[in-house]
Amino acid sequence: MKKLILLLLCCFTIVACAPEVGTKAWCEQLKEKPKGDWTATEAKDYAKHCLFK
């Protein structure tokens, strides 16, 4: 039970550190990521929030 709680806590901590989609930090982070590694959703959100603002 303790291991499960620790695992869940770690997962929530990691997810909480990601910048919110559409913020300047998110746009900068995606610029650094190779374009071939982008998902279709990331590409759509990047165009919507970073290019056509």
For residues 36 and 16, which has the higher predicted lDDT (pLDDT)?
36
Residue 36 banded pLDDT, cuts 50, 70, 90: very high
pLDDT of residue 10: 67
CB burial class (10 A; 0-12, 13-18, 19+) of residue 46?
buried
Cα 42 to Cα 35: distance, rounded to the nearest angstrom: 10
For residues 51 and 53, which has the higher predicted lDDT (pLDDT)?
51
Average pLDDT over residues 31-44: 94
SS3 33: coil
pLDDT of residue 46: 96
Spans of all domains in the chain:
20-53
Cα 48 to Cα 44: distance, rounded to the nearest angstrom: 6
- Cα 12 vs. chain centroid, distance in angstroms? 14
**pTM above the 0.75 mark?**
no
